[in-house]
Chains A and B, each alone.
Chain A
């Protein structure tokens, strides 16, 4: 299947700082990218959907000013957690899909964020 990468795989930061996570589709053009968050022993929760060149659509309850998403190209999306706090510590996973509506959706390996 297609490959989606994330960087970094793990990050530790101090409370109040901002953290940027990159998501790349390596062998296909991702017209749509998704960002999920997963807390320990819980399922994935969709945070937002972004289409290349457009503003992201956030799920209910997700603060768009705190979780900034940029999808500037067909192979790259970034998630910036602004003014991170310990409660933002989680496993962040991106996903990407090409332009065909019924196509598979591929997931990245995830980024473990720990806010001290």
Chain B
């Protein structure tokens, strides 16, 4: 099973871009990278996912390196409400219907005024 490595914590100034790194050096060719975040005492919230190409949606951008061994989640203009634990997950089981999300320890992002 591919595993991910994330820094335990990061700070970001409000209004600035937050760049959250993730290493997944053992990722397989058909395994997607997912990003979720969890605000205290709530269920995780889906942010974005990707396989090879960079992805962007209304919440964030996902940059995946060409060798797919690492990725970066970018929150373009962080707000105080973005303070949360961010999880980078490689979906075990790839794109199959048996795939499942195994959570690591995540990165606690603190957005400061």
A interface list, Cβ under 8 A from B: 1, 4, 6, 31-32, 34, 36, 43-46, 49, 91, 93, 95, 99-102, 104-110, 112
Q: Known contacts A43-B87, A44-B103; decide if A93 and B97 are in contact (CB<8 Å).
A: no
A102 near B95 with CB under 8 A, answer yes
Q: Known contacts A110-B41, A110-B42, A110-B43; decide if A105 and B103 are in contact (CB<8 Å).
A: no
The number of residue pairs between A and B whose CB atoms lie closer than 8 Å in the complex comes to: 56
Question: Which residue of B has the minimal Cβ distance to A91?
Answer: B41
Task: Tell whether B101 is near chain A: CB-to-CB under 8 Å.
Answer: yes
Partner of A44, one of B32, B34, B44, B95: B44
> Could you tell me the distance in whole angstroms from the C-beta of A61 to the nearest C-beta in chain B?
14
Task: Tell whether B53 is near chain A: CB-to-CB under 8 Å.
Answer: no
A109 near B42 with CB under 8 A, answer yes
A43 near B100 with CB under 8 A, answer no
